Structure 1
Amino acid sequence: MSYFTQLLEGGYEAVHLLSDSRTGLRAIVGMHNTRLGPGLGGTRALATYTSEEEAVADALRLARGMTYKAALAGLPHGGGKAVIMLPRGNFDRAKLFESFGRAVESLGGRYITTEDSGTSTDDMEHVRKHTKHVVGLKERSGDPSPVTAYGVARAMEATAKHVFGRPDLKGLRVTVLGVGHVGMYLVKELHERGAKVWVSDINAASVAHAVKEYGATAVDADTLHRMEADVFAPCALGGAINDATLPLLKVKAVCGAANNQLLTMRHGEQLAGRGILYVPDYAANAGGLINVAQEWAGYDREKAYARASNIFDTIDTVLRRAKESSLRPEQVADRMVEEKLAA
């Protein structure tokens, strides 16, 4: 499929291919819908993209998700996302991200970047040397992961209200797939709320930390998927709900921090068919975006957490409307966003 076909069929505004032969920079910035404000979204940096087409598709898919996440959270921003195809072998990371900063600046403020998978606050410090259109900076809001995790915990409390009849997590059995930055903070939030937590991750050190610090139980991924539990929380990369994993799930709800948890929309249908409530990922994991949006407006930690706390109300509304209609929660959330964009 040509790039123009992808843009037109998906309602995208632009895709920018940005390069620098001196540093090896190969970056793609996808812009979905900026009707509500400049695009705001993180930069994903990976060496695992097998082609430019794959990287472009990832940037566009993620940009669309940011449009929906920002709109549902009531933020004055649109959907933008960047991916960097990291060079294979040795390269100067600082120089590459400085080059990326110049590339972001060339977009004239239509896109504001921050960290994401494969990038860090250190990388953003190099980006900021050449553009003001960057957030998630150390001396301002810093790492958004704690706020993302807090928002997911609030989403899970709203889920518990609808599924278990009480808006708290004490005693609930939660399985967490992925204990990276956000996943680990979520385990901490769950531990503080009295939930029983099982974790799985390819990083043995992260798993050990979750076990030691937060009393989690370690299991392998296959065991995690097969466990009888109350809530499954995907917190790694996307596509966690797929043809292989979905039939294994023995939970009442799915509510996690990962983006694009459903590999395809039909997997949402299949979850509903099995009586498993799916909480739209972009509604549950908006805390990080809320945090960096607050930084762009003028950072106030209390305001960021207060707004992230409102994710409970958003999920409560989505699940209530889903119950009142024949629609699934992800369909309800999409309609709420589309109504805002059309207003």
Structure 2
Amino acid sequence: MADVFLHPSYDEHEQVLFVSDRSCGLRGIIALHDTTLGPAAGGCRMYPYASEEAALKDVLRLSRGMTMKNALAGLPLGGGKCVIIADPAAANKHDLLRALARQVQRLGGRYWTAIDVGVGPADVDVMAEECEFVFTRASEFADDDPPAHYTALGGFHGIRALAAYLRGADNLAGLKVAVQGVGQTGADLIGQLVAAGAELVATDVNEAALRRVVEQHGIRAVAPDAIYDQDVDVFAPCALGGILNDDTIRRLRCKGIAGLANNQLERPEHGRALMERGIAYAPDFVVNAGGVMRGSLPIFAAHDRDLALRKIKGIYDTVLEILRRSEAEGVPAEEIAERIALERIRGGHAMAA
């Protein structure tokens, strides 16, 4: 593997730890990007990466994204992430999680971890057996009020803001939306959009999950690769990252993009490519911040659902401000959002979003 310090996504990370445990075969990476505003916070992802290089790239990009997300969300938190190189369906999943949790515990609170792809709230409860620095535990939420709902709610407000920018009103009736990914957050977002009168088309590589959503909401389904070609108002990526790239951007027929996936731009210059095509882009680390706004409260405050809901609703104003500034200054929205986040970090304090 190439020198970590020379990695294109390194971006002066404070700490990158490669962790292992012979007893269960753990191979993982913990990345702390920036702790200026507070302890690093970000989820634990379990995924069968094709290589260690792929895992390193993902964790570096994800942890940097958490720095931007937490700063823009007005949270007293820095950015971090961890990944486990494994199939989340593995029989020893809980052993892997406990082993990773012990590594997080050794950091003494510099990093707090949570749910992510392949790791759900019940899994975080397992990690809590070995580590006190975890959030989004299943035991902290009612069965009918899962953490994923708040991520989806933030996405809903982000799409409302994008609709207001595109159409001059945030009424979603008749808004055509293509959703890529119908996992917990994607499915929840679809339910909210359908209830608001939007017209949906969706896809997922998991055919059974897609079929359930189609039957529940009466929406249209397409094959995974066809989602980029849909003639819609909004494209909402809610699966994995890197899907806005040289190949897909030229195929898009949407007017704007707002979704819940992390790191949607394969490279920074793809933000400029979207702008040149006249496609408004709501930066993912703004739109998908609802989950951390709700779930991270135990790190620095008491559980306060009403406070979290007020902060999540504020995603609407943040997205709208970024889109308008992007248009006025001729600068990609991602750059505008990062500029605001970095200004807050340089100031050394969190500000209300």
**Taking structure 2 as the reference length, what is the TM-score of the superposition?**
0.93
Q: Determine whether 1:209 maps to 2:251.
A: no
Structure 2 unmatched ranges of 5 or more: 348-353
| Distance verdict in 2 for CA 1:128–1:208, change over 3 Å | same
Question: How do residues 83-232 of structure 1 correspond to structure 2 at under 5 angstroms?
Answer: 83-86=83-86, 91-141=91-141, 143-232=146-235
Q: Which residue of 1 aligns with 2:313?
A: 309
Q: Which residue of 2 aligns with 1:269?
A: 272
Q: Determine whether 1:336 maps to 2:340.
A: yes
- Cα deviation for residue 215 of structure 1 reads 2.1
Q: Which moved more, 1:135-144 or 1:260-269?
A: 135-144
| Distance verdict in 2 for CA 1:171–1:99, change over 3 Å | same
Query: Could you tell me which of 235, 238, 256 is aligned with 1:235?
Result: 238
Distance 2:208 2:171 in 1: 30
| Distance verdict in 2 for CA 1:187–1:79, change over 3 Å | same
Q: Which residue of 2 aligns with 1:37?
A: 38
SS of the residue 1:114 aligns to: coil
Distance 2:222 2:166 in 1: 25
Q: Determine whether 1:324 maps to 2:325.
A: no
Letter of the 1:285 partner, please give it.
Answer: N
Distance 1:89 1:253 in 2: 35
| Distance verdict in 2 for CA 1:85–1:272, change over 3 Å | same
Letter of the 1:330 partner, please give it.
Answer: E
* Counterpart contact for 2:271–2:333, Cα < 8 Å: no
Letter of the 2:60 partner, please give it.
Answer: L
Q: Determine whether 1:27 maps to 2:28.
A: yes
Distance 1:87 1:301 in 2: 33
Distance 1:192 1:340 in 2: 36
- Cα deviation for residue 113 of structure 1 reads 0.5
Letter of the 1:338 partner, please give it.
Answer: L
Distance 1:269 1:294 in 2: 35
SS of the residue 1:176 aligns to: strand
Q: Which residue of 2 aligns with 1:58?
A: 58
Distance 1:198 1:88 in 2: 28
SS of the residue 2:247 aligns to: coil
SS of the residue 2:319 aligns to: helix
- Cα deviation for residue 301 of structure 1 reads 1.9
- Cα deviation for residue 212 of structure 1 reads 1.6
Distance 2:64 2:319 in 1: 20
Q: Which residue of 1 aligns with 2:350?
A: none
- Cα deviation for residue 202 of structure 1 reads 1.1
Letter of the 1:150 partner, please give it.
Answer: L
SS of the residue 1:29 aligns to: strand
Percent identity between matched residues is 39
| Distance verdict in 2 for CA 1:67–1:252, change over 3 Å | same
Q: Which moved more, 1:229-238 or 1:114-123?
A: 114-123
**Taking structure 1 as the reference length, what is the TM-score of the superposition?**
0.95
Distance 2:88 2:183 in 1: 23
Q: Which residue of 1 aligns with 2:47?
A: 46
Distance 1:247 1:167 in 2: 27
SS of the residue 2:42 aligns to: strand
Give per-residue Cα distances to partners, 1:45-102, cap 9 Å, x unaligned: 112x232232122111110000000001100100000000127996522222222221
| Equivalent residue pairs, number | 342
Letter of the 1:25 partner, please give it.
Answer: L
Structure 1 unmatched ranges of 5 or more: none
Distance 1:81 1:218 in 2: 33
Q: Determine whether 1:292 maps to 2:295.
A: yes
Distance 1:266 1:79 in 2: 23
Distance 2:158 2:61 in 1: 23
| Distance verdict in 2 for CA 1:219–1:327, change over 3 Å | same
Q: Which residue of 1 aligns with 2:351?
A: none
Q: Which moved more, 1:307-316 or 1:141-150?
A: 141-150
Distance 1:135 1:65 in 2: 18
* Counterpart contact for 1:322–1:332, Cα < 8 Å: yes
Give per-residue Cα distances to partners, 1:81-129, cap 9 Å, x unaligned: 0000127996522222222221110111111000100111222111101
- Cα deviation for residue 323 of structure 1 reads 2.6
* Counterpart contact for 1:27–1:83, Cα < 8 Å: yes
Aligned Cα root-mean-square deviation (Å):
1.8
Q: Which moved more, 1:204-213 or 1:154-163?
A: 204-213
- Cα deviation for residue 170 of structure 1 reads 1.1
Q: Which residue of 2 aligns with 1:18?
A: 19
